[in-house]
Structures are given as structure tokens and as C-alpha cells.
Structure 1
Amino acid sequence: MTTSAKSTSFDYVKSQLFHSRKKNIEVVSNFSPSVNGFNKNCFDGSKSFRLYNRIHPNIDVVVNGKKINGSASVGETSYVGLKKCEVIKYKEEDLAQTCMLGKFVEGRFVYKQTFIIRSYEIGPDKTATMETLMNLLQETALNHVTSSGLAGNGFGATREMSLRKLIWVVTRVHVQVNKYSSWGDVVEIDTWVDAAGKNGMRRDWIIRDYRTQNVITRATSTWVTMNRETRRLSKIPDEVRQEVEPFYLNRYVFANGDDDPDKINKLTDDTADIIQSGLAPRWNDMDANQHVNNVKYIGWILESVPLNVLQDYDMTSMTLEYRRECRQANVLESLTTMKNADPLTTITKDIESTHLLRMQDDRAEIVRARTKWLPKNMIDQQP
């Protein structure tokens, strides 16, 4: 049977309906013009079926004239003697909005979103990685822009930015982790924005354990605008400033400015303990703005961290200073120096590391970074 372009939406409904293969049911749907085909393909004339788990919040199922929607769990309810099943799908834009699962709080100054830690987002110790945390922060930020109604046709860009061919680029990120979530945990992320000097924007985040509401991660970042064609930094136009200023919240995620403000020293061949060469970006490392996704740099930084540190320690803090774009054609080198520990054998109470990612050919700097580490059995004991 040839299905319409929207037939993938039927598959979701089908997965929510357990059915026997009996006959004589009328199924009405606004998913597709091909209603008869939908009857045969999805329900096969079922005379009874069972709804389980949760129907998607944006899909209504009407059984014998009674609507059952996604606002409540329907459990293992079984319906026998079914004569009519009507499946109603809302507008595509409403469905996309619902799937974001985010909401505004505190007078629309703070955007809140929840996530579950998936199996593919954990490391060998079954907890979320720093890359996972950074990806969740980025996802929340992008959904914040979209939900605010400001989104243009760019990757997180506002409408006025899109008209001027501008994109956001991050210049600095600082993350402090009190506890890493485990596989299956649910986390709640709050994010908000404020001005950063005359031509920057600051974005902060708080991650809480959804069950306990304890703060487990804090993060702050600085962003500037860049012309997506010339790749040159740009002042924030007044029109863009007028768009984002109503969302500014004068609140700092770190008390007393404790966001690792110290300068990160540049590493050289002489000062680095370990140098890992030949790191090549892949096509899948590129983002929608046609440069390497800023989260990808974390993995390359860790390429030059000693294995015993990765196995026996948790990263409690990471500061990244982005200095240059990286494209797919570039080949990189990762440099690391360790403080308070022999890079091969010694385990101490805490370790501080300095890192550098640079171009392999001309040694131009891409990212400077600093990380702090505690033994795995000590991270939960932090104040």
C-alpha cells in the first residue's frame, strides 16, 4: 500500500494500540486523506483493543464517542465491542511545541525543561558524561529561543539576526558539577539570559535532580554574534537587542562571581605533559552553522587526559575558552598538563588540568580549557 507523507504519524498511534484482528470498525482520522487505507493499515478492523502507557499529549483517541487524550494515563484499559474509533491529530506546529516539554516560569524570564538520561548518554560508570550535560544545556537554550517566539530561520538565531545573516557563537563556558545523574534519572534544567558587556549575552543554567530538587550542576556562558557568511564577529544590532532585552534577568548562577575567572595559561610543547595528534573532525561533528559543534571539543580534550584519571576520577569543573572556529578539513592536536598528580600513576585528593586544542599544521589555538577532578567516591561529598 502506498502511504502518504504523514503516514509516519500513524505508526505512533499504532504503537499505542494493542489490537486483535477482528472486523467491522469504523475508524475516522484527519491524519491523511486516505482514511480507508489508514483503517486497513493501522487497525485491521479490530473489534477490541487495549490502550497502554500514555497516548501522546497531542493526540486524542475517541472510543465509542468518549475522548481519551494524553492528559492522563489510560493504563491497561481494554475496550470490547468497539464500533467507532476516531483518531484526532492537532496541528503540526502544536505537536512540535508539545514535544519540547518546556515551559516558562517566573514571569517568562526562566525557561524550564525536563530530560531523562538515556542509555546512550552515559559513560562506562553508567552516569551522564560531561558531553551529555553540555548537549542538554544546548538543547534547553535552543528550545528557549524557539518557545519565546523569537526564532528565525537560523540555528538559535532570532528573526532580526536571520535578516542580517547573524548567528550566535559561544566564547566561554564554565560548568560545575556536584553530582552526575545515572541512567534513567530525570533532570530539570532552568535557563535564562542577561547582557554580557556591551556586545555579548550571558546564558546561565541550573540542573536539578527532578526527584529531590537538589541542584546538581550550575553553568554559565558568554555569547556574541557572527556573520554566517564572512565568519567575522559583529556588534549586536539595536534591532536584535530590542528582541532579546525583554527576556533579560539580572541573576547570576554563581554566587560572588565564582565562575572560574582566572586566566587559562597557554600550553606549549615544553609545558604539556601529553600531546595527542591527528584528531580529525568528521562530517557528523559539524553543526547547523557549518562549524564543529562546541560540545565535540570536549572529547578531543579528553584524548590527552591519562587513562587512570578518566577511570578513577570525575570531572567536577570545566572551563572552555573558544578562540577560533574549526572546520572539517582541519586536523587538531590535544595538549594536557596535570597538576597535583603524576599523569600516569598517582591518585590524589584532587587534580587540576590545563588543556589546549590547536591546529596541527600552524598550531593556531582553537580552545583553551581547564578541568578539575575528584576521585569518584568523593564527588557526592562536595558542599
Structure 2
Amino acid sequence: MATLTSQSAKRITRGRCFFGNPEKTKSSILPVKSCDNGGGRGGRKLVCANAVNGAVKVNGKAADFRSSAAQPVSVDNDDDAFRLGKFVEGRLVYRQRFVIRSYEIGPDRTATMETLMNLLQETALNHVMSSGLAGDGFGATRQMSLRKLIWVVTRINIQVDKYSQWGDVVEIDTWVASSGKNGMRRDWVIRDRRTKKMIARATSNWVMMNRETRRLSKIPEEVWEEVLPFYLDRNSIAGDANTSHRIQKLTDATAESVRSGLAPRWSDMDVNQHVNNVKYIGWILESVPLKVLVEYHLTSITLDYRRECRQSRLLESLTTMSSTGTPPSTLCSSADLQSTHLIRQQDDEAEIVRARAEWRCKGHR
């Protein structure tokens, strides 16, 4: 018999079962001969159903109809632990696990770069929430919310050694540190839960913006006091060399391919009313040659966010590709590749995102 967690047993009468608040009886036992399950030829009759002090038994087996909403939720519950993750290393590192879903893989049956970026973002937000610092903003602390401040990413670099497949479980560690006088750095490490091997890593830089004026802001002293106890001076990418180099600006003359007419949709917006930083990955790939997408893995990408983007703008995606060496003896037609990208506004050509990427032939072991 199915468990109905949203209602309690009200009374059981001959031939029919009603749900609501349980009624007290002299014996607290209400015998019935059958229970109406809605009719139909396949309906099963219940020989006996008893209600004893709010607990219902059908054919001698317990069936709990009491509301789960009244049950207190323990922070140690396995479901919450899976959903929210946990702190390790003295609460300096936050760890969360994810299963790669079928809708998170691409044509080659592995997780996409967009999937990895989304998982990084989810882990970061749950880190803030689980730390007890979360205010009413999207990843903002209490003091930030009081001052109408939000975090905005200025640069992110992710490097992938191996893409997970459907059904794999990944474990993501994240932590934060200072970045200069007025910024924050957030790092991640992704491991395969079964092998414990690191399969990807990422680093990013963030600054504060006033969510109403859309102007950058210094980090207030009160916010520093909130976040400093969680800072860990550790780099996921040694030297962070790939994020320190300036990314070349593409123009119509230097770009090999241009895709115009890219329109941000309402679903591309985040709660801060600008395009979610992960969405740019898809637009970047729109101008990458199909042969590259089919034959190569995107092993590294650095995104340099120049300005925020709203829904009303049409965008263009520009790409240029270059080879990094001698073609290997594989199915690929060339050696590993590098690419430079630009997402710009179509009307005035104002830069939104610059990016640099590295590609490895899928047949190259």
C-alpha cells in the first residue's frame, strides 16, 4: 500500500478510507473489511485495516499516513548531506558530490564543459549557504545584502584532464582566498569519487558590484570580517599562469569565423538580472568549426569577463584557431589546438567576454 505523507488517517469506516486528522475512539482500533482504492478491475481489497493511536496497519503491516512536514529535519540526514555537502580541513574546504545526469552529457556521451561550470557554481553557492554567511542575495553574505552588494566574476580558468560519463559520481572541493586589495579568489578541484583521481581543476577571480547602480564597489570592512575566517591560501592551478596572460582581442580581420544573431533568452538570466557566466560557453562554441567539436576535447578554457550582458542585446561570437605542433598519428587531422574567442554586442561591437581555449585530439592518449 502506498504511503501518503501529506495526510494523516482521519477515520476508517466499512469499505472506505478517509484521510485527515485522526479521531480518538474508545478502543483506538477501527476494524474494516475493505478499503476503497478508487475502483477499477485491478483494485485490491484490504482484508483488515486498523488505526491505533494515529498509526495505520493494513493486513498487519505498518503504513504511516502522518504528515512528514511535522517531522523536524536533521542536519545529519543523509539526503541533506548529499544535497549540501560538508566541510573538511577545519571548515576551510567545502566538499560536495554530484551524479552526472543523462541531460548533462554531450554527443560523445561525456559531461560537457557547461555541465562542469554549472557544478562549480552550485558548489560555490552551497558553500556560502552552508557556512551560515548567506544573506538574501545569490551567494551574498549578510553584510553584502544589507549594502545591496553582489559578487561578479571577472575571470575563470578551468582545466580538464578527463570528462566524466553518464552515471559517474564526482566530488568537488572548493575554497576561497583574497585576490589583491579588493577581490576574492575561488578555487575548485574535481575528483572521480570511485578512483579518487583529480580530473579537473579551476580558479576564478571575483569583485563586488552594487546591484542597483551596477557599479563596482570596494569590499567593506564588515564583509572582510565575515569572510576572512574561511580564507585558505592555496592554489588549485600552480602558478595560475594561464590566467595571468592577457587574452588577445579578436577583430573582423583576425577572426576566422563569426556567428551573429545570438540572442540571450530570459532563461539565460540569473537572479542578479544579467546573463549567467556559464551561458557564454555555449555561445563561444557556436563559432568553433564542427570538425573541431567532433574530433577534439576542450581541455582548458579561460574566460575574461569584460562587462555584464542583459537580455535586450544581440551578440556575436568570433573564433580563430591555431595548431600547437606536429599532427599526431591519430584520427585527428592536426595536432592539438589553441583558440581565441570574443563575445561582443552586435550593434556597437562592445566586448562582453574574451576567451582562450586549448583542445586535445580525442584519439590522442
Normalising by structure 1, what TM-score?
A: 0.78
CA shift for structure 1 position 23: 7.8
Which structure 2 residues correspond to residues 17-96 of structure 1 after superposition, within 5 A? 34-35=20-21, 81-82=60-61, 85=64, 87=66, 88-89=68-69, 90-91=71-72
Kindly report structure 1 stretches of 4+ aligned residues shifted beyond 6 Å: 22-27, 39-42, 44-48, 62-65
CA contact (8 A) 2:5 2:65 kept: no
Secondary structure class of the residue paired with 2:353: strand
Q: 281, 285, 291: which is aligned to 1:298?
A: 281
1:314 counterpart residue number: 297
Change (3 A) 1:290 1:324: same
Secondary structure class of the residue paired with 1:241: helix
> Counterparts of 2:308 and 2:6 in 1: how far apart (Å)?
42
What stretches of structure 1 of length at least 5 have no aligned partner?
1-7, 12-21, 28-33, 49-61, 66-78
CA contact (8 A) 1:25 1:84 kept: no
> Counterparts of 2:47 and 2:190 in 1: how far apart (Å)?
47
CA contact (8 A) 1:355 1:368 kept: yes
Which structure 2 residues correspond to residues 212-361 of structure 1 after superposition, within 5 A? 212-340=195-323, 347-361=333-347
CA shift for structure 1 position 256: 3.3
Secondary structure class of the residue paired with 1:265: coil
> Counterparts of 1:40 and 1:167 in 2: how far apart (Å)?
55
CA shift for structure 1 position 195: 0.3
Give the root-mean-square deviation of aligned CA atoms: 3.2
1:150 counterpart residue number: 133
> Counterparts of 1:239 and 1:175 in 2: how far apart (Å)?
31
Secondary structure class of the residue paired with 2:223: helix
> Counterparts of 1:215 and 1:253 in 2: how far apart (Å)?
11
CA contact (8 A) 2:85 2:97 kept: yes
CA shift for structure 1 position 183: 0.5
CA contact (8 A) 1:351 1:373 kept: yes
> Counterparts of 1:145 and 1:176 in 2: how far apart (Å)?
24
1:52 counterpart residue number: none
1:38-73 alpha-carbon deviations (Å, 9 max, x no partner): x9999x99779xxxxxxxxxxxxx9889xxxxxxxx
> Counterparts of 1:257 and 1:329 in 2: how far apart (Å)?
35
CA shift for structure 1 position 97: 4.7
2:118 counterpart residue number: 135
CA shift for structure 1 position 258: 3.8
Q: 335, 348, 354: which is aligned to 1:362?
A: 348
> How many residue pairs get matched?
326
Change (3 A) 1:252 1:40: farther
What stretches of structure 2 of length at least 5 have no aligned partner?
8-13, 23-34, 39-43, 49-53, 325-330
2:104 counterpart residue number: 121
1:294-332 alpha-carbon deviations (Å, 9 max, x no partner): 000110011100000001100000000000010000000
> Counterparts of 1:45 and 1:153 in 2: how far apart (Å)?
51
> Counterparts of 1:280 and 1:348 in 2: how far apart (Å)?
33
Structure exhibiting the larger radius of gyration computed from Cα positions: 2
Q: Which amino acid aligns with 2:359?
A: W
